[in-house]
């Protein structure tokens, strides 16, 4: 089986367990927001935002458009994930405008 190479903007199926409290858990889609340089320097760890089908229209979520995956990107729940142990599967790639919106929102949380 070919090893998955993560790319910024990939929607992947990933197991988020174990989680606590209000964190998203279970096997669900997520958006990889980290770039190739980050993956290289961290030995295949990725920053991933879970995707939920519960539409809340919160200003901290980005709604998916023009994708087979439905829902909202939960930018406030960004997580470091070791891709070698979380059974990550590629689903699809999102458009640059949705990716840019998600990254801009995440950056606004820490600026």
In a domain, 3, yes or no: no
Q: Facing residues of 89 across strands?
A: 13
Q: What is the per-residue pLDDT across 3-56, written as a single tens digit (0 to 9) for each? A: 778 899 999 998 876 555 444 556 889 999 999 999 999 988 999 999 999 888
In a domain, 41, yes or no: yes
In a domain, 1, yes or no: no
pLDDT for 75: 95
Of 40, 39, 31, the C-alpha closest to 10 is 31
Give the integer Cα–Cα distance in Å for 89 and 23: 21
In a domain, 4, yes or no: no
pLDDT for 26: 67
Predicted confidence (pLDDT) at residue 107 exceeds the cutoff of 70: yes
What is the pLDDT averaged over residues 64-82? 93
Domain assignment of residue 82, given as a range: 10-110
Domain count, the chain: 1
What's the pLDDT band for 100 if we cut at 50, 70, 90?
very high
pLDDT for 111: 83
In a domain, 2, yes or no: no
How high is the mean pLDDT of the chain?
88
- Omega of the bond leading into 11 within 30 degrees of 0 (cis): no
Antiparallel, parallel or unpaired: β 27-32 and 79-82: unpaired
What's the pLDDT band for 2 if we cut at 50, 70, 90?
low
């Amino acid at each position: 089986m070919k090893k998955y190479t993560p790319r910024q903007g990939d929607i992947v199926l990933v197991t988020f367990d174990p989680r606590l409290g209000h964190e998203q858990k279970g096997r669900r889609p997520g958006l990889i927001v980290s770039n190739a340089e980050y993956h290289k320097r961290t030995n295949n760890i990725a920053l991933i935002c879970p995707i939920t089908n519960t539409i809340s229209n919160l200003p901290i979520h980005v709604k998916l458009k023009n994708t087979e995956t439905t829902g909202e990107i939960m930018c406030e729940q960004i997580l470091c994930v070791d891709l070698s142990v979380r059974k990550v599967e590629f689903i699809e790639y999102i458009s640059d405008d949705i990716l840019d919106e998600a990254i801009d929102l995440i950056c606004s949380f820490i600026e």
